[in-house]
Structure 1
Amino acid sequence: MEAADEPDDHEPTKKQWVGFWSMIAQQTQNAFNDKAAQFILVPLGGAIAYTMLGVPVESWAGIMIALPFVLFAPLAGWLSDRYSKRDVMVGSAVAQLVVLVWLCSSIYFRNMPLALCGFFALAVQSAFFSPAKIGINKELVGSRHLGFASGIQQMMSMLAILAGQIAAGVIYDQNYRAAGGTPDVAWQAAMIPLLILAALALPSIVFSIIIPRTPAQEAEKLTPGVAIQHFRHLADLWSDRRLRQASFGVAFFWGFASFINLWSVKLAKVLTAGQEGFGTLSSWFMAAASLGMVGGFGLASFLLRRRIELGWVPVAGVAMTLCALGLMLVNPEGSLDLLDAAGLGWLPVFKALVTPHSGAFLWMLALLAFFAAIFLAPLNAWMQDRYPATKRGELQSASNLQDCMSGIIAVGLVELIPQLLRLANLSDAAISRISVGLLGLGCGLITWFIIRLIPSQFVRVIGLTLIGTFYRIRGVDTSNLPEKGGVLLLPNHISWGDAFFLTAASPRPIRFVMEGAFMANPLIRGFCKLFNTVPISTDKPREALKIAANAIKDGHVVCIFPEGQLSRTGTLQELKRGLEIIARLANCPSVPVWADGSWGSILSFERNRFFTKIPHRIPYHMRVAFGKPIAPDKVSLKKVRSSLLEASAASLASRLHRAKSSNPQAWANGYQLGQINALQRRTPFTVLPDDPTVSELVGLASFASIFKSNATSNSTPYWLGGNKLRQQIASGGPPSQPSTFFDFSEQASTPLEVEGWHHCPCLAINGIIISMSLPDPTQAHPDSPHQVGGKEGSVGILLPGFSYEEREEHLHLTGPAAGPDGIPLPKGTRTDESSFVFLP
């Protein structure tokens, strides 16, 4: 088979989006008609007691839905590849109208075999429609939106199925009851809804014409052999190991769905003896399942909106297993008799579910279907993205063939299992419950197999879900990360959770570089292997750089933290030179990333310790900003640092946009003050009354408001002021306790050596705080590298959220706090490798 298809990077045009939604409208109407026709013929067959070869109508309907996909799969795939998929969809819409007229004629002449043939023809039409409607998704919306599109497509199908089965079942029952409820009037009751279906087929033709014509692919010529190439197409599908595994997962879903569908109908038949109310009750059961699937596909389209995440498949599989086993415990008539027998029926959690109208049963059925939809959606989207463009229809038809074979097997099991269980003289109700319990065990086995296949995706989804509970992480400018090819990711490093934050925000999976010495721990080694971590040895630097570069050459996004350590100041530490070598060896773009909000989480050194502190808030909001890619020949420590600061300004701008402050510069500057280890959050700081310098610093009030850290005239460990406070400290002796003085005076860069005071030079221009010094942070543990909060002659470290550029021998600050025109620094001002600011 050809190599897997490359991601389609195109952004859909307005015409393509209109075509996509027209396709959704057409396939929704098609699904509605299929299910409505089924839920007219099944109760009709029950009312007239019709069987064929001793098999009831509901089982024949299940077989007839699946059989065309088996018989005509190769031909349907060939048609979708040989011609424009849009033209195939137009032909399907016309064929549907013809078949529905056929069905109406069959009912008019009261000929059930002819009606079943018409139902079979409707399924044939769907078999040819399916590969076209699924294959056209990627051609219309591209890879980026494929997960969303697939989820919407399946959600709308389920909505149509729900509407079709309820409308058909209820209308048929009402007509049947109104006419006297005898077998003779059953035909008349079926005629009206079928005429409505035929009328509804007309708009479908219009929708199909609106879809833009997509290019036809080069397919082999039509020969008699094409119609019987089932096994060759399956061999093509199975030749790609990952496609084969995914297709088996999809086939399991359709077998599962067929089992639940027919099982629900048979249960309704048991409870009504196949007489009055059969159509309505089966519609209620199927409505619960369909509503569950609608909700599941809706959630899946949201979960997959940024990328196709296969980890949701085993997560949903676990939930399906629990729901199927739970369904076995709940009596549809509104009691928990199996739990009562085990002495557990008194539990409030179970009592709350039971209602006189079988609430527990319907809810459990809906939940089972909800998680089944989440199981299917990622697999479907992933397969559509991986199909080669020239064989998309053929492979989708092969998958459909496999799905329908699975469905037919499921129908056979629904018929066979009761026959075997009846040998034990069990009641029909007990047989129904044991059958769904066996389905639950099957779900469990399949899920265990999937977890073993993709353990990292499974753990990743669980981990990111847990992180999402405590953190709200928003990606900023994620389009700056190339959609394919090797990339070197260069983020700042503030907290122990940065790897998880980056993973949550990134549109692509990330491989992290880790010192190989950590692999000695079995738990860490297992975790790193699970997530394909790139192990390196700092004792062999040249080899380590080559290993990282080779991983990037293989097309991965590889992340290294260029500071080589966690920042305990909240500011960017000095960058290490290895990043330049890796970028050149790999010949790849480098993308700087700024994790804004890491400082302040319990995983950061805020409050001068890691972990052992109470969170400021739950959930904690973060921004992860992706800077513009840097070409490999342009990478330098200076360029990377500058780009990181630009990313910090972009993340701050994102926050400012949502803050909607009346004074944007003041709000932004106040927020910046809370991102470094200087003034402490939720801790008061001291200012002198009527200090003119303090009144000029517009960001202080915003800092106090955002981080609950108010200015006070009482003595605290943190003092802030200008000339007035500096003079008082110089002449007033030591404070009552060791204190830090954040000096914004005109002489701030001149050391102030007074016992009991830690002098921290700072800089503000036009009331905007530009930089601050801070005390050297304490060590987190004995091996922590020394970090500095101040340097002799400097006026502190540039606050995160500012970037700068050189303009006519001036450093010109930009960023939200700098305002639209920016802030020029005095001529001769310079910054060093750690962003300390030195005035001339």
Structure 2
Amino acid sequence: MSSGHSQFALLRQRRFLPFFIVQSLGAFNDNVYRQAIIGLLFYLGVSQEEQSLYTTLAPAIFILPYFLFSALAGQIAEKLEKSRLIVITTTMEIAIMSLAAVGFLTQSMPVLLVALFCTGLQSTLFGPVKYSVLPSVLKPEELTGGNGLVEMGTSMSILVGMISGGIIFTLAGSYGPVVAATAVIALAVAGNITARMIPKVDAGAPDLKINWNPLPESLAVLRLAKKQKAVRNAILGVSWFWFVGTLLTSQLPTYAVVNLGGEPTLYIFALALFSVGTGVGSLLCEKLSGRTVEIGLVPLGAFGMTAFMLDLYLARAGEATAAGLSVPAFIAAAGSARIIVDLVGIGLFTGFFVVPLFALIQSRTPKSEMSRVFAALNIQNSGFIVGAALIALATQKYLHWTIPQLFLALAIANAVVAIYIFTIVPEFLMRFLSWVMVRTLYRLRPHGIEANVPDEGAALIVCNHVSYMDALILSATIPRPVRFVMYYKIFNIPVMRWIFRTAKAIPIAGAREDPALMQAAFDEVDRALAEGELVCIFPEGALTRDGEMAAFKSGVEKILERRPVPVVPMALRGMWDSMWSRRDTRLGRMRVPRRFRAHIEVAAGPPVDGASTDAAQLEALVRTLRAGQA
């Protein structure tokens, strides 16, 4: 893992850049088109009742295809080569936007709404392939950064698209219909041309037999998405993100006028703050995660969202005392800085919340099922979006809640949902606690992890054993989940026990201490390797007492005799001088470090054949790594 790596390097590579541009152009064009429809309504001078009717109908028309055709789209995305499918969907976009252009030029709302339905259909077909492409073209350690870029590009494209579509008729005047028609076609053509530059991406399940009946297939993909508890709840988390985002952004136009005292255009500024925050949070995920799929960021994001939504309610619980404020006037007004920070903060922590969830779904789902799982995600997202709209309507019409009261209820609901998810899948909270501990106590510098730890399949990791924190340090640097074999007394340390158990660590004892536990540990290691998992053992059998490595015991050979998988040698450097080693026993085994946040290194060497190695050879490899000679 190169310390100089930047996720922005992906924007210079053909395997990622064309896809990123296509996705961003698609989101931009969708929002230009939808806002231009609203602009046309004002241009035509239709009544307030007609405006309300169309603005209510438009989102429903756009989202309906997600309910009807997502399951079919998932199957098609699974069966076809993915770059070809992206070219097909962007070609559809040209045809749909040509129909939309006719609607603008003839100023026909029925034609524009038909085209809007077709746009929703095209987005439905593109949706499953959008996120299933990334695991095929990115390495596991690039998933978080790649998803962060996609989320940043999407959020900024939506924002700029809304602004651009909204001002077409304001700036172009009588030429507005022509400009709108030209813009949507030009953007669709640009997306199609770029799509043809995407490299070939193999189909996930080319032999899949497509079920054309949408209802049973929708139920089937929803069941498929529930196979793994962590994936199921990651999907729930992403849908909750859409619920929160829909509820927040749908209230901003009225909130900007009534509660912030601004002109109608202040809504765009408020939306920009939220969108920029989301984009920045999405980009920061790679830095904070150390280029692993760090689901420990999910609780951080959830708690941060709740805190800033709560403060947004406290910052302006009632109506504004001023009215008609421009953006500069609002910024200069007393108390506005707090509201600005809150809106950016909500977006920032939303990015922390959603990006690792996408990366988790991609890393834990088989490639032959990926597109259908994302189709299920789209179905569920649609339900949550519709639910958010209905709840907003019901609370304001029947309960007479103000928008700040709605934000307060959303903050409380977000905390409840987060606690629920983290209770039923404690891995999320476990990773959060371990992430906080590791990054508070240490400064990590990994070497050779990307090149030498296999992206998939079974492997045994062997490492020197220096401190009580070794397992957490290694899990923070290895992109894949790891099953650690650890001495049962370390496994049973208070507080740490819950973390180790949730991470499915395997406790072991010596043959004289507990032969039954030792045998159970070997059996569990073999099962994990048989299922293609990574397993890490510390062959010295105990923590070092003097900072030097002890001889490797024969347990590693017993594991490889039963299942000769590849073995990855790894070494910890600098841990002896850090917290939780056995140095300076005068202060107890868990001593206060002389240097807070000690610099430590984790090095990995090339895998070796498990069928032709032994404990002595592996010990020599780890000693070489430990000395920094490899």
- TM-score of the pair, normalised by structure 1: 0.65
Counterpart in the other structure of 2:345: 367
Q: Structure 1 residue 372: deviation in Å?
A: 1.8
Question: Residue deviations 1:440-488, cap 9 Å, x none?
Answer: 1221111011111232342333322332234221222223334445544
Match of 2:200, SS?
A: coil
Q: Structure 1 residue 290: deviation in Å?
A: 1.2
Match of 2:462, SS?
A: strand
Counterpart in the other structure of 1:204: 191
Counterpart in the other structure of 1:64: 61
Q: Structure 1 residue 370: deviation in Å?
A: 2.0
- Tell me, yes or no, if the aligned pair for 2:298 and 2:353 is still in contact at 8 Å: yes
- Tell me, yes or no, if the aligned pair for 1:456 and 1:531 is still in contact at 8 Å: yes
Name which of structure 1's ranges 622-631 and 285-294 shifts more when overlaid on structure 2: 622-631
Take 2:551 and 2:216, find their aligned partners in 1: how far apart are those partners? Answer: 67
Counterpart in the other structure of 1:497: 469
- Tell me, yes or no, if the aligned pair for 1:488 and 1:560 is still in contact at 8 Å: yes
Name which of structure 1's ranges 372-381 and 504-513 shifts more when overlaid on structure 2: 504-513
Task: Kindly provide the amino acid, as one letter, of the partner of residue 498 in structure 1.
Answer: D
Counterpart in the other structure of 1:460: 431
Question: Residue deviations 1:361-394, cap 9 Å, x none?
Answer: 2321222122222222222223234444444433
Structure 1 residues 517 and 314: alpha-carbon distance in aligned structure 2, compared to 1, 3 A threshold: closer
Task: Kindly provide the amino acid, as one letter, of the partner of residue 418 in structure 1.
Answer: Q
- Tell me, yes or no, if the aligned pair for 2:145 and 2:283 is still in contact at 8 Å: no
Counterpart in the other structure of 1:439: 410
Counterpart in the other structure of 2:150: 153
- Identify the match of residue 246 of structure 1 among 234, 247, 252: 234
Q: Structure 1 residue 414: deviation in Å?
A: 1.7
- Tell me, yes or no, if the aligned pair for 2:259 and 2:320 is still in contact at 8 Å: no
1:468-617 residue pairs with structure 2 within 5 A?
A: 468-478=439-449, 479-516=451-488, 523=495, 525-538=497-510, 539-540=512-513, 542-553=515-526, 554-555=528-529, 556-604=533-581, 609=586, 615=593, 617=595
Is 1:106 matched with 2:84? no
Structure 1 residues 271 and 58: alpha-carbon distance in aligned structure 2, compared to 1, 3 A threshold: farther
Counterpart in the other structure of 1:225: 213
Counterpart in the other structure of 1:42: 38
Is 1:324 matched with 2:309? yes
Task: Kindly provide the amino acid, as one letter, of the partner of residue 450 in structure 1.
Answer: I
Counterpart in the other structure of 1:122: 119
What stretches of structure 2 of length at least 5 have no aligned partner? 1-9, 323-330
Take 1:533 and 1:142, find their aligned partners in 2: how far apart are those partners? Answer: 25
- Tell me, yes or no, if the aligned pair for 1:42 and 1:61 is still in contact at 8 Å: no
Task: Kindly provide the amino acid, as one letter, of the partner of residue 473 in structure 1.
Answer: L
- TM-score of the pair, normalised by structure 2: 0.84
- Tell me, yes or no, if the aligned pair for 1:173 and 1:277 is still in contact at 8 Å: no
- Identify the match of residue 235 of structure 1 among 219, 223, 232: 223
Task: Kindly provide the amino acid, as one letter, of the partner of residue 192 in structure 1.
Answer: V
Question: Residue deviations 1:398-434, cap 9 Å, x none?
Answer: 3212211211111111222110233xxx6xxxx1111
Structure 1 residues 69 and 191: alpha-carbon distance in aligned structure 2, compared to 1, 3 A threshold: same
Match of 1:451, SS?
A: helix
Q: Structure 1 residue 130: deviation in Å?
A: 1.6
Question: Residue deviations 1:659-679, cap 9 Å, x none?
Answer: xxxxxxxxxxxxxxxxxxxxx
- Tell me, yes or no, if the aligned pair for 1:68 and 1:123 is still in contact at 8 Å: yes
Counterpart in the other structure of 1:350: none
Question: Residue deviations 1:206-226, cap 9 Å, x none?
Answer: 111112333444466667635
Match of 2:16, SS?
A: helix
Q: Structure 1 residue 173: deviation in Å?
A: 4.7
Task: Kindly provide the amino acid, as one letter, of the partner of residue 308 in structure 1.
Answer: V
Name which of structure 1's ranges 62-71 and 477-486 shifts more when overlaid on structure 2: 477-486
Match of 2:446, SS?
A: strand
Task: Kindly provide the amino acid, as one letter, of the partner of residue 72 in structure 1.
Answer: F
Is 1:81 matched with 2:78? yes
Name which of structure 1's ranges 640-649 and 19-28 shifts more when overlaid on structure 2: 640-649
Counterpart in the other structure of 1:780: none
Q: Structure 1 residue 123: deviation in Å?
A: 2.4
Counterpart in the other structure of 1:310: 295
1:429-828 residue pairs with structure 2 within 5 A?
A: 431-478=402-449, 479-516=451-488, 523=495, 525-538=497-510, 539-540=512-513, 542-553=515-526, 554-555=528-529, 556-604=533-581, 609=586, 615=593, 617-649=595-627, 651=628
- Tell me, yes or no, if the aligned pair for 1:65 and 1:123 is still in contact at 8 Å: yes
Q: Structure 1 residue 574: deviation in Å?
A: 4.1
Larger strand percent: 1
Match of 1:212, SS?
A: coil
Take 1:526 and 1:470, find their aligned partners in 2: how far apart are those partners? Answer: 19
Counterpart in the other structure of 1:698: none
Q: Structure 1 residue 292: deviation in Å?
A: 1.4
1:259-278 residue pairs with structure 2 within 5 A?
A: 259-268=247-256, 270=258, 277-278=263-264
Is 1:95 matched with 2:83? no
Match of 1:72, SS?
A: helix
Match of 2:576, SS?
A: coil
Task: Kindly provide the amino acid, as one letter, of the partner of residue 84 in structure 2.
Answer: D
Count of matched residue pairs: 604
Match of 2:213, SS?
A: helix
Match of 1:567, SS?
A: coil
Q: Structure 1 residue 109: deviation in Å?
A: 3.1
Take 2:499 and 2:372, find their aligned partners in 1: how far apart are those partners? Answer: 39
- Tell me, yes or no, if the aligned pair for 1:97 and 1:201 is still in contact at 8 Å: yes
- Tell me, yes or no, if the aligned pair for 2:466 and 2:581 is still in contact at 8 Å: yes
Match of 1:18, SS?
A: coil
Take 1:500 and 1:486, find their aligned partners in 2: how far apart are those partners? Answer: 20
Match of 1:210, SS?
A: coil
Question: Residue deviations 1:282-333, cap 9 Å, x none?
Answer: 2212211211111122123445674323332222112122222222222399
Q: Structure 1 residue 567: deviation in Å?
A: 3.0
Counterpart in the other structure of 1:829: none
Structure 1 residues 262 and 384: alpha-carbon distance in aligned structure 2, compared to 1, 3 A threshold: same
Counterpart in the other structure of 2:356: 378
Take 2:582 and 2:493, find their aligned partners in 1: how far apart are those partners? Answer: 25
Question: Residue deviations 1:29-55, cap 9 Å, x none?
Answer: 110111222333335546746567894
- Tell me, yes or no, if the aligned pair for 1:354 and 1:360 is still in contact at 8 Å: no
Question: Residue deviations 1:556-578, cap 9 Å, x none?
Answer: 44444333443343222344444
Q: Structure 1 residue 549: deviation in Å?
A: 2.2
Take 1:585 and 1:224, find their aligned partners in 2: how far apart are those partners? Answer: 46
Structure 1 residues 198 and 637: alpha-carbon distance in aligned structure 2, compared to 1, 3 A threshold: closer
What stretches of structure 1 of length at least 5 have no aligned partner? 1-13, 180-184, 338-352, 654-840
Match of 2:467, SS?
A: coil
- Identify the match of residue 163 of structure 1 among 149, 160, 164: 160
Structure 1 residues 495 and 143: alpha-carbon distance in aligned structure 2, compared to 1, 3 A threshold: closer
Counterpart in the other structure of 1:258: 246
Match of 1:307, SS?
A: coil
Counterpart in the other structure of 1:667: none
- Structural RMSD (CA): 3.6
Q: Structure 1 residue 647: deviation in Å?
A: 1.0
Structure 1 residues 615 and 514: alpha-carbon distance in aligned structure 2, compared to 1, 3 A threshold: closer
